[in-house]
Chain A
Amino acid sequence: MMNRTIRIILAAILAAIVAFPILYAFSMSFFSIIDFTDSYAHFLPSTLSLRNYVLALSHRNFPRYIFNSVMTSTLLSVLRIMITIPAAFAFSHLEFKRRKMLLGVMISTLFIPSDALLYENYSTVAALGLLDTYAAIILPSIFSASSLLMLYGAFSSGSRYVYDAARIDGSGDIRYMAEILTPLSGPFITTILMQSFITSFNSYLWPLIVTSRDSMRTVQIGLAMLGFAEEGERGAEFAAVMIITIPFLVLLAAGRRTIMKALVNPKED
């Protein structure tokens, strides 16, 4: 009994710490200008009004930043799946010369952090004339060694009989991938899509470097460029923070178990 009380108290303290920044941001998203400039720091807004949310949503660029982020993250996730499935299929189902070597080369990129290649990749993208495009934002991260490794593992553990049977039925490899392999590996594909979307949505340095026009900025960069703080409208900045955070919180609340399973090990489905 004693133990139980202590455990709950400790968990509650830790939970309060972890939740504090989000709750505080939520509170600040309703702050009026005076709440920020008062002689002591407020916990709660002095009045309740949606003015900050109106300001954030009617900001010249903010909706565009969100649009760019959602577009690039979606494109990246879909393209990553589209190049990874055929590659993982070839490595796991087909025999060809230099198979081991090619797989090794591609997996070895796991050891190369792309942050350390910022400049070299920038010069590649610049040389291709792609600066300030969606292509520039997503191109270097479409290939992911960890996604390839995961699908390769999933495809390899599947039964060969299904593939052989499909071949005898005269179904081509492309059809086999689309109609049999992909549905069979659903959980893995969901995992990759989800991880890719989150990573891409959160990426900061790379999109910062390859974009310069306001209309091409993603929300991660745009958030710091809204200029609300300079106008004294700090509250609107936090309304913007909440606007991009709440959808993810809702998704998390709705699919906590699925997300946990997907992020840790999709195998157990």
Chain B
Amino acid sequence: MIKKKAEPYLLILPALVLALAFYIVPFLRSVIFSFLRITQGGELIGIAGLDNYRSLFADRAFLSSIWHTLLFVLLFIPVNTFLTLSAAALTRRKRKHGAIFEFIFFSPLAVSLSAYAAIFSEMFRGRVSIINRIFSLDMLWLESPESAMVALVALSVFLDFGLDYILLLSAFRTVDRSMIEAAEIDGCGSLSTLFHIELPAIRNMLLVTIFLALKDAVLISAPVMLLTEGGPYRSTETIMYYYYLEAFRSSNLQKGRAISSLMVVLSALIVTLMGRRRNDE
């Protein structure tokens, strides 16, 4: 009898321990510690209240990292949405030879982060770069703030392209056929069917994709590290890259904890909004 009672708990134990040890506890520790005064050596010397947050928001580098992240999000979301949606819309009907396009639009899924980062560094490297040759330009892409941001956005679009495309394509393919056929019988061209029937029908999946992209974009750090290292002149330092620098390079743990607490709240907010959309479906 005792064994029976303990069984469910034993079954969930490994998962529960890991969830607590690597999510719940560190999150709580991060939030609680962010309100305390702790020395570099890890010694607790009192309550800080909002002091850690105050000094964070007084830090110009942090404020500009917010701006860089915002700029990144504002560039990335529209470009990413437009390109993945176009690709999905163009290939939404199964056709002869359509498989080739489908495969190409899927293919970014096979290329890992650092592989793309290495390729993009080379594509944008120096004056004699392939991008300059294709567009007949003479730019040092990664050496000026604006163009480095553009390169970062381009890299990020490729990183997310495969998955977003799959999500949108399968949304298109689950749209009720009879609605599309009815529209076509009524003389709707394929473009007006797309805008009046199919896009409204996949609206929720589109929003879910946008929220997913938004969450990734807000938390972006690894592509920054690999492509620009925050440069030039710290112009591509995003919030999470700044967090990494503060926590691991400058050992400014208290500042790091304040950032991580804020970012958990922000991303939880995005996930909640996304969950609403998903439930509406």
- Chain A residues closer than 8 Å to B109, beta-carbon distance: 198, 248, 252, 259
Closest Cβ of chain B: how far from A156's Cβ, in Å? Answer: 15
B182: Cβ under 8 A from any A Cβ: no
Complex Cα–Cα for A94 and B12 (A): 11
Judge if B180 is at the interface, Cβ distance under 8 Å. Answer: no
Chain B residue contacts of A108, Cβ below 8 A: 24
Q: Tell me if B106 counts as interface (CB < 8 A to partner A).
A: yes
Question: Pick the contact of B107 from A19, A143, A224, A244 — CB < 8 Å?
Answer: A19
| Interface pair B22/A89, CB less than 8 Å apart | no
- Chain B's closest residue to A218 (CB) is B114
Interface of A: prevailing SS: helix
Within 8 A of B (CB), among A199-239: 201-202, 204-205, 209, 219-221, 223-224, 234, 237-238
Task: Give the interface size class of chain A.
Answer: 35 or more
Closest chain-B Cβ to A16's Cβ sits at a distance in Å of 9
Return chain B residues, CB-CB under 8 Å to A122.
248
Inter-chain contact B30/A117, CB cutoff 8 Å: yes
Chain B residues with CB under 8 Å of A180's CB are: none
Q: Is A57 among interface residues, defined by CB-CB distance under 8 A?
A: no
A119 x B260 contact (CB < 8 A):
yes
Q: Taking the complex as formed, is A145 at the interface, i.e. its CB lies under 8 A from any CB of chain B? A: yes
Is A21's beta carbon under 8 Å from chain B?
A: yes
B110 touches A87 (CB 8 A): no
Nearest chain A residue, comparing its CB with the CB of B191: A3
Instruction: Select which of B7, B16, B107, B130 is within 8 A of A24 by beta carbon.
Output: B130
Q: Does B106 contact A96, Cβ atoms closer than 8 Å? A: no
Number of interface residues of B (CB under 8 A): 86
- Report whether A10 and B102 are in contact in the complex, using a CB–CB cutoff of 8 Å: no
B140 within 8 A of A: no
CB <8 Å contact, A234 and B27? no
Whether B11 pairs with A89 at a CB distance below 8 angstroms is yes
| B106 A241 Cβ-Cβ under 8 A | no
Question: B130 near A41 (CB under 8 angstroms)?
Answer: yes
B15 and A11 within 8 A (CB) = no
User: In whole angstroms, what is the CA distance A202 to B158 when docked?
Assistant: 14
B114-A224 in contact (CB<8A): yes
Choice from A106, A115, A140, A202 contacting B112 with Cβ under 8 Å: A202
- Cβ-defined partner of A116 (8 Å) among B16, B129, B267: B267
Residues of A within 8 A of B169 (CB): 260
* Chain A residues, CB < 8 A from B75: none
Residue pair A124, B21 in contact (C-beta under 8 Å):
yes
Across the interface, do A15 and B112 meet the contact criterion of CB distance under 8 Å?
A: no
* Cβ distance A97 to chain B, nearest Cβ, rounded Å: 9
Interface pair A25/B119, CB less than 8 Å apart: yes
A245 to B118 alpha-carbon distance, docked (Å): 12
CB distance from B124 to the nearest CB of A (A): 11
B18 part of interface (Cβ distance < 8 Å): yes
Pair A40/B87 contact, Cβ less than 8 Å: no
Would you give 6 A-B contacts (Cβ < 8 Å), ordered by A?
A18-B107, A18-B158, A87-B11, A105-B19, A109-B24, A112-B27
9 additional contacts (CB under 8 A) given A119-B247, A140-B18: A11-B90, A15-B104, A117-B30, A119-B253, A119-B256, A121-B22, A245-B111, A252-B109, A263-B163
